[in-house]
Amino acid sequence: MNNYDRLKKSHKLSSYQNSNNPQHTDSLLDDEFTEQVQRVGFNMWGALQTIISVAIVMATVFTMWNPSNIFSNQILDRMFRSSSDSNLQPTSVPLTPTTSPRPRIGIVAGHWGNDSGAVCQNGLTEVELNQKIATLVRDDLVNEGYDVDLLQEKDERLYEYTALALVSIHNDSCDYINNEATGFKVAAAMSSIFPEKASRLTACLVDRYGSITNLRYHANTITKDMTNYHTFNEINGHTTAAIIETGFMNLDYQILTERTDLVARGMSQGVLCFIRNEDLNNIPTQEPTP
């Protein structure tokens, strides 16, 4: 008796024992038995297909590779390099650009926003001249890479103002005094907490302004009104400051009004001399007069 006959006999006996109708039992037996046989046959055929597929794949693998090249140095080296490259690949990190603030300089146009200052017979006012010079100085220093504040005489920003340097621009009287009333004056704050820096700024302005404009420096006519200039008491104590009267609006009228560019250049070069710690041709002395 083969497996098919045994399976049929076993199934028939089990079904007969659980049924009270022998004829109905035979019918059910045939249907259920046929269904089970079909399932067994289907499962066996699926398993056979799987075994054949695996056998084909394995045969192909062992045909292409053999023990001499499966673990060869060349393949191992490629595997190692591939792993290393993926692990060591640099991660791109976006950089956030940062910009450092540029050095700051303050330029005060004397009398601007406050009063006219000296007034000449032809209508020219000191404040007009001061503002024109200050604007040119500002432009020169901006072109040199600095941030420059153009400030009024009593600008609110002057309170605790902080910068590398601050210079206030003024001019002397339009009236004729004598033939000696020509040239410029420079003064720094007498109460500066860093007197050596104040002296250095003064020396740079005198040296550069005098050499560029060929105007004479009036060292002995500097007054206490200049050394006690109100702005010196308003700005931050760490800001080095000076005041300059670029000329007399009578005998120096021509250079002040027609060569304003030279006047401004002399001033800006003096400021740069101080900031850049450039060499001096001479170091002037200042003796305020009563």
Architecture (CATH level 2) of domain 104-275:
3-Layer(aba) Sandwich (3.40)
- Please state, in angstroms and rounded to a whole number, the distance separating the CA atoms of residues 247 and 138: 19
pTM: 0.65
- Give Cβ neighbours of residue 78 (< 8 Å, ≥ 6 apart): none
Torsion of CA 241, 247, 253, 258, to 10 degrees: -50
Question: In DSSP terms, which residues pair with 244 in a beta bridge?
Answer: 169, 186
Q: What is the mean pLDDT of the chain?
A: 79
Give per-residue burial for 229-241: e unless 16+ CB within 10 Å, then b. Answer: bebbebbeeebbb
Distance CA 229, CA 198 (A): 14
Rg (CA), the chain: 51
Give the integer Cα–Cα distance in Å for 202 and 60.
94
Determine which of 89-93, 124-128, 252-256 has the lowest per-residue pLDDT on average: 89-93
Q: What is the pLDDT of residue 194?
A: 92
Q: Decide if 169 contacts 110 (C-beta within 8 A).
A: yes
Kindly report, residue by residue over 42-84, the tens digit of the pLDDT: 456 666 667 776 667 566 555 555 544 444 455 545 555 655 5
Residues 143, 147: Cα–Cα separation, whole Å:
9
pLDDT tens-place string over residues 167-202: 999 999 999 999 999 999 999 987 788 999 999 999
Where does the pLDDT of residue 229 fall: very low under 50, low under 70, confident under 90, or very high at 90 and above?
Answer: very high
For residue 247, give the 3-state DSSP assignment.
strand
Q: Decide: 169 and 137 in contact? Cβ < 8 Å.
A: yes
Who has greater pLDDT, 120 or 1? 120
Q: In what order do the strands lie in the sheet with 185-188?
A: 147-151, 104-109, 165-172, 240-248, 185-188
| Residue closest to 275 by CA, chosen among 109, 104, 152 | 104
Task: Return the domain boundaries, the chain.
Answer: 3-88, 104-275
State yes or no: pLDDT of 159 exceeds 50: yes
